[in-house]
Amino acid sequence: MEFLNIIFKSIKLDKTLYSDNKNFDEASIYYAITIILLTSLISIIPGSVFTEHMSAALGIVDHKGPSIRSILILSFFMWLIKTTYLYFFGVVIFSSKSTKCSFKKLLTLVAYSNAPFIFYIFIFDINLIYFTFVPYIWYCISLIIGIKEVLKYENYFKSIILTLAPQILFLIWFLSQFSNVNNVTLS
């Protein structure tokens, strides 16, 4: 029952999920692992829809997507990378005066904020593929709220920058690459 309560609080963007220390007790890491496993397996649905569509569009007949094992390994690896990034920049570099957070607590926070990815289950058709952005934005908002609460930031500014910096840097890089392609002249 506690597990479902954690998922519902994350989906509702309830900041008490992250401010209540009982959600980060001994069982929390098991809840976190379960959420990562569950959302990883559910993410196969929109992934396979997109893969099938692109295979058909490109005329590829016998294409297989990634294995379940590789998806799970990559999900856990990305979970650790995201947590390491947040720990380094949020706790070590840009901490506030009252920031006292362990790596385990941030690991749990990142997993809890993944709960909106459960809605990927509804993306079973290529016409719905654009709705993958809705759970992702939901995840980012949940992560922003969680970081503000756990790292005890005074406002949301640091939390927003910390959460969205990788996406902003990627967007800047992508736009610069796109502008470089447009500036190339044919000789």
Residues 103-127 pLDDT 10s: 999 999 999 999 999 998 888 888 8
State the residue for tokens 């976190």. Answer: 32
Residue-level pLDDT at 179: 75
Residue-level pLDDT at 181: 65
Query: What contacts 169, CB < 8 A, 6 or more positions away?
Result: none
For 61-77, how does the pLDDT look when each residue is reduced to its tens digit (9 = 90+)? 777 777 888 888 989 99
Range of the domain at 99: 2-183
How big is the chain, counted in residues? 187
Q: Report helix angle 28-42 to 44-58, nearest 10.
A: 20
Query: What contacts 58, CB < 8 A, 6 or more positions away?
Result: none
Domains held by the chain: number: 1
DSSP type of residue 170: H
Please check whether residue 96 is in contact with residue 112, taking contact to mean a CB–CB distance below 8 angstroms: no
Give the helix/strand (H/E) hosting 136.
helix 133-150
Query: What contacts 180, CB < 8 A, 6 or more positions away?
Result: none
Residue-level pLDDT at 183: 65
Stated pTM of the model? 0.84
Percent of the chain with pLDDT over 70: 95
Query: What contacts 107, CB < 8 A, 6 or more positions away?
Result: 29, 32, 79, 80, 83
DSSP type of residue 61: S
Say how far apart CA 109 and CA 128 lie, in whole Å.
29
Answer whether residue 53 shows pLDDT above 60. Answer: yes
Residue-level pLDDT at 187: 47
Say how far apart CA 129 and CA 114 lie, in whole Å.
19
Reported confidence tier of residue 137, pLDDT bands at 50, 70, 90: very high
Nearest to 35 by CA among 111, 146, 107: 111
Reported confidence tier of residue 128, pLDDT bands at 50, 70, 90: confident
